[in-house]
Amino acid sequence: MPSLGRRWTRVTALSALAIALSAPSAAAQDYYAGKTIDLVIGSGPAGGYDIYGRALARHIVRHIPGKPNIVVKNMPGAGSGRAAGFLANIAPKDGTVIAGIMPGAVMRPLLEERPEILFDPVRVQYLGTANNGTRVCVGWAAAGIKGFDDVRGGKEVPFGAVSPNESTHDYAFMLRRTAGAKYKVVSGYNGTTEIGLAMERGEVVGSCGWDWASVKAQRSDWLRDKKLNVLLQIGLERNDELTKMGVPHVWDYVKADEDRKIVGLVIGQQVFQRSYIAPPEIPAAPLGILRSAFDATMKDPRYLEEAKKLRIDIAPLPGTKVQEIVQKLHATPKNIVQAARAAIRP
């Protein structure tokens, strides 16, 4: 039978081990207690990215130890590059500011020949993506735009777009170059909400590069009432829902080998369609807390129930996986990058 001294030594050792094991948890509990996290959305209010970001903010707080306040702020500009640049260069680096950005901002330094470098997409820390999705071309039914073939020949028609480095702009030009589209790209709109209003006014008759999840969330009534036709689905793989609807896939129109490589590079960004990032210099502790909280939120039944009501698709990837994909895309051979640059610019 062990002596009292030996038993005391073992109890002391076990107590020390328990304290050591609980220390990270205690530190995690303390880190965000009483703090506020700013979630900066790199687009304007009421659009798809704003809907996704505000839904995340409402639920992720339950999974962050210390229960900090979360304040959502919109910072549109440069295809969300302005928000990413603010996060990387100006905002505090302690995990109290994160951002929701568009994939075009991640691709900009790669695909623009002389980009204004607002941030380094390889160096920022990815918390995860809420969706890896499909984009579409849409047409206004009253204007007679029923299918993608309607914009591949005949009279040139106006298609609405935002600006370079944003999908409605870059995808529109990409499809002109690789899929035979003949529309005229009318840029300068402030997001898909404005493009939709422009379709109602008759300024434009369609647009390419809309997120399918956003179309369903923002314009479900137009789909229901058949005011809006889905002309083309754009993604590395076919979307089951759109395929059942009879919507053709981009690969049905892009045939040449080099064109397929170009399109594959440009639309590869859809794998991380709704990404959330932290600054490059964020310490390991808050980064781990935020990544774990993001992953937990993506499985949270209450979050998934709200997503269903909002008609937003949730198909997440963890931050480490997104980080790996971004690094691989930025290592693409130069000849393919140069061809892709030419395809997405007028």
Strand order in the sheet with 97-101: 69-74, 36-41, 97-101, 275-278, 125-129, 317-318
Co-location of 262 and 152 in the same domain = yes
Does the structure show a pLDDT above 80 at 148? yes
Residue 335 belongs to some domain of the structure = yes
Residue 10: inside a domain: no
| 157 and 108 co-located in one domain | no
Q: Comparing 18-22, 185-189, 218-222, which segment has the lowest mean pLDDT?
A: 18-22
Mean pLDDT of 53-65: 98
> Are 44 and 88 in the same domain?
yes
Is residue 12 domain-resident?
A: no
Domain boundary, last residue among 268, 288, 311: 268
Residue 28 has pLDDT above 70, yes or no: no
Task: Please report which confidence band the pLDDT of residue 121 belongs to, taking 50, 70 and 90 as the band edges.
Answer: very high
Q: Is a pLDDT exceeding 50 seen at residue 24? A: no
* CATH assignment of the domain containing 145: 3.40.190.10
The lowest-confidence range among 14-23, 147-156, 221-230 is 14-23
pLDDT of 4 higher than 60: no
Q: Of the candidates 268, 290, 316, which is a domain's last residue?
A: 268
6 has pLDDT over 80: no
Q: What is the DSSP string of 71-114?
A: EEEE---GGGHHHHHHHHHTS-SSSSEEEEE-HHHHHHHHH-SS
Looking at the fold, whether 124 and 148 belong to one and the same domain comes out as no
CB distance 131 to 270 below 8 Å: no
- Mean predicted lDDT score pLDDT of the chain: 90
Give the domain range for residue 336. 29-132+273-344
pLDDT higher than threshold 80 for residue 143: yes
Range scoring the smallest mean pLDDT among 89-93, 109-113, 290-294, 328-332: 109-113
Of 22-36, 252-266, 271-285, the least confident: 22-36
Q: How many domains does the chain have?
A: 2
> Higher-confidence residue: 306 or 11?
306
Do 279 and 234 fall into the same domain?
A: no
User: Is residue 9 assigned to a domain?
Assistant: no
Does residue 24 lie within any of the structural domains? no
Q: Among the three residues 268, 290, 310, which one is the final residue of a domain in this structure?
A: 268
The pLDDT assigned to 25 comes to 56
Residues 252 and 298 in one domain: no
Looking at residue 284, which CATH number applies to its domain?
A: 3.40.190.150
| Higher-confidence position of 36 and 165 | 36
Residue 335 has pLDDT above 90, yes or no: yes
**16 in a structural domain:** no
Residue whose token pair is 């956003």: 214
Give the span between the Cα atoms of 214 and 36, in whole angstroms: 28
Judged against a pLDDT cut of 80, whether residue 21 lies above it is answered with no
140 shares its domain with 48: no
pLDDT in tens, 63-108: 999 999 999 999 998 889 999 999 999 999 999 999 999 998 999 8
The answer to whether residue 11 scores a pLDDT higher than 50 is no
